Amino acid sequence: MFPELNNLLNTTPDRAEQGKLTLLCDAKTDGSFLVHHFLSFYLKADYKVCFVALIQSFSHYNIVGQKLGVSLTAARERGQLVFLEGLKSAVDIFFRPQEEPHPLQFLREANTRNLQPLYEFVREALKPTDEEEAACRCPVLLVDDLSVLLSLGLGAVAVLDFIHYCRATVCWERKGNIVALVHDSGDAEDEENDILLNGLSHQSHLILRAEGLATGFCKDVHGQLKILWRGPSQPTAPRDRSLTYQYKIQDKSVSFFAKGMSPAVL
Amino acid sequence: MTPSEGVGRGMESVLEMLESLLALGGMVLLRDTVEWEGRSLLKALIKKSALYGEQVHVLGCEVSEEEFREGFDSNINSRLVYHDLFRDPLNWSKTGEALPGGPLEALRALCRRTDPGPVTVALDSLSWLLLHLPCTTLCQALHALSRQDPCPGKQVRVLGLLHEELHGPGPVRALSSLAQAEVTLSGALGQASAHILYRRPRQHPTHQTQWFSILPDFSLDLQGGPLLEPQPQPDPHTPLVDPTNHLTFNLRLSKKEREAKDSLTLPFQFSSEKQQALLRPGPGQATSHIFYEPDAYDDLDQEDPDDDLDI
């Protein structure tokens, strides 16, 4: 987790908000550093994490996690982390008997165009054991990322329904959080992606948007982060609802600064 | 206008805005965006209807019942009936808790309700319904719902929340044509504004723009405009200085000076007197001479080179 980002969002692992949907989106840049931040943040905060990782392998997240101070292997072994490795599962599904339910069932069946099996997987993964109920461990669902589901042939409404059901179970019933990454296609006219992005934006309490600089690539400033708090019940004044910072990604941390205040140019 | 006068006028306008939106009957369409959300205004309108003594039916698809009822006091909550399409709209859990028939049946059931008295139906949200039902089916159901019953006691008012960015222009215009009033939410400088379009029958559509903010108890607070930085108040102890004292130039003209100014002819204004003055050299004017010393190489040809031109 990046301490500077925690300061900007005004959270720490011990007093994170509950029942919230955080939307991460990136446009013309790679927003995966935000996924790594939230993954290590919630593991450090002792949440029960279900990570639906469709983009990278387990070892990739593990290596980055170790740089940020968490061990995914250890977390998985002690039951704190449930990891769905999309890349491996997608191949496995063709070598299993068809009757067994699989989270990525939609890859095999042509007619069921919804994500109900994936939702059932998430619900099972975050079902509290007795000791977890006692420890009041809150669940977190992390998805990296949702745009790839559109590329795999699902409609935007199917993905929105999946997140809807996850919200009902994880955020409302279990008072946990959801963090999901969606790519913004930007100029490329992708209607389905726009519907997905806007639909999720309307349901989110916090939107973190990483954008590339309008002027192009820069060695010292890797991009710009826009933070938007939504919803009527926010503690900050209306004027603080939206903040913009620029950032530079380093080996083990990300530094944030106000626009134009990069240490390289001061 | 003193601040207290502004508040007084603001209070009248508050009532006007909400009352005029609710008085028309039929459907009120609330169009919001990601940046300027409309659920707070929807809840403010629901609160107003409930305070009139009406029953409010909410078809809730996007938020849980607890979240929707948050902020309402018990008086309003007792008049609110929440039809829950949030927990299990598509019957995935198969526990039998879901509303039977899904969203369309739930919508049609609202048309068939038989309780007496005027009723307000809030659809949170129309966008969710539009993504899950065909547009024509939804429009037919809405038309059936908001059709004015000739019996005045059974009036139905429909409030629909629509997220503009999710739909193409076709469905949005179809829903807009069913609405008697349309409120488009936007804002500037942290202040929300509502652009209201009224479609009264047999009259021209009228527009109104209103800046507002919603208080935590979902009452409406009208503003004059986006809140600018507060102007620094003049220190009451320093005497106000008249800047027009002790000037080195004249700011005003006396009557004589004004007459002299008006009668002055401007140098480049060509009048008949000026023409005469130019044509006839006056006694004071010296005629002008040109003194020319020819060089050794000058060719003094007295012949006019333009002679052969036929001008």
* Domains defined for chain A, CATH in brackets: 3-257 (3.40.50.300)
Contact B122, B68 (CB under 8 A): no
A93 touches chain B (CB under 8 A): no
Contact A38, A70 (CB under 8 A): no
Pairing mode, strands A254-257 and B156-163: unpaired
Of B87, B89, B163, the CB nearest to A202: B163
Chain A CB contacts of B191 under 8 Å are 238
CB atoms B64 and A172 under 8 Å: yes
Provide Rg for chain B, Cα atoms.
38
CB pairs under 8 A between A and B: 61
Rounded mean pLDDT, A206-231: 89
Tokens (6 digits) for B199: 């479609």
Q: Which residue out of B30, B32, B34 would a mutagenesis test of the A interface target, given it has the greatest number of A Cβ atoms within 10 Å?
A: B34
**In terms of CA atoms, which chain B residue is nearest residue A200?**
B34
Residues in B 5-44 with any Cβ partner in A closer than 8 A = 34-35, 37, 39-40
Q: In what order do the strands lie in the sheet containing B119-124? A: B80-84, B55-60, B119-124, B156-163, B26-32, B181-188, B191-198, B206-214, B220-223
d(CA A247, CA B27): 47
Nearest-CA distance from B224 to chain A in Å? 17
B229 touches chain A (CB under 8 A): no
pLDDT value, residue A201: 94
Q: Which of B183, B88, B205 is nearest to B126 (CA)?
A: B183
CB atoms B166 and A161 under 8 Å: no
**If you average pLDDT over each of A91-105, A114-128, B139-153, B201-215, which comes out highest?**
A114-128
pLDDT tens for B10-40 read 444 555 677 777 777 789 999 999 988 899 8
CB atoms A198 and B163 under 8 Å: yes
Residues in A 17-36 with any Cβ partner in B closer than 8 A = none
Q: Which residue out of B93, B124, B125 would a mutagenesis test of the A interface target, given it has the greatest number of A Cβ atoms within 10 Å?
A: B93
**In terms of CA atoms, which chain B residue is nearest residue A194?**
B166
A172 touches chain B (CB under 8 A): yes
pLDDT tens for A50-103 read 999 999 999 999 999 999 999 999 999 999 999 999 998 888 888 887 777 888
Q: Identify the weakest region by mean pLDDT among A80-84, A166-170, A261-265, B203-207.
A: A261-265
pLDDT value, residue B4: 46
Residue B235 banded pLDDT, cuts 50, 70, 90: low
Chain A CB contacts of B37 under 8 Å are 202, 230-232
Q: In A196-214, which positions are buried (b, 16+ CB within 10 angstroms) versus exposed (e)?
A: bbbbbbbbbbbbbbbbbee
pLDDT value, residue A237: 45
Q: Identify the weakest region by mean pLDDT among A38-47, B11-20, B50-59, B63-72.
A: B11-20
Tokens (6 digits) for B23: 């008085």
B249 touches chain A (CB under 8 A): no
3-state secondary structure chain A: CCHHHHHHHCCCHHHCCCCCEEEEEEECCCCHHHHHHHHHHHHHCCCEEEEEECCCCHHHHHHHHHHCCCCHHHHHHCCCEEEEEHHHHHHHHHHCCCCCCCCCHHHCCCCCCCCHHHHHHHHHHCCCCHHHHHHCCCEEEEEECCHHHHHCCCCHHHHHHHHHHHHHHHHHHCCCEEEEEEECCCCCCCHHHHHHHHHHHHHCCEEEEEECCCCCCCCCCCEEEEEEECCCCCCCCHHHCEEEEEEEECCCCEEEECCCCCCCCC
d(CA B65, CA A170): 16
d(CA A188, CA A145): 18
Q: Identify the weakest region by mean pLDDT among A40-54, B162-176, B246-260.
A: B246-260
C-alpha distances out from residue B124 to B65, B127, B264, B274, Å: 11, 8, 75, 82
Q: State phi, psi for A190 to the nearest 5 degrees.
A: -115, 95
Largest CA distance in chain A: 63
The answer to whether residue A209 scores a pLDDT higher than 90 is: yes
B62 touches chain A (CB under 8 A): yes
pLDDT value, residue A32: 93
Side-chain-facing half-sphere of A128: CA atoms under 13 Å: 18
Of B89, B165, B214, the CB nearest to A232: B214
pLDDT value, residue A14: 82
Mean pLDDT over the full length of chain B: 80
Chain A CB contacts of B88 under 8 Å are 165, 168
d(CA A154, CA B103): 22
Nearest-CA distance from B94 to chain A in Å? 12
d(CA B238, CA B253): 31
- Work out whether the CA dihedral A220, A213, A199, A54 comes out positive or negative: negative
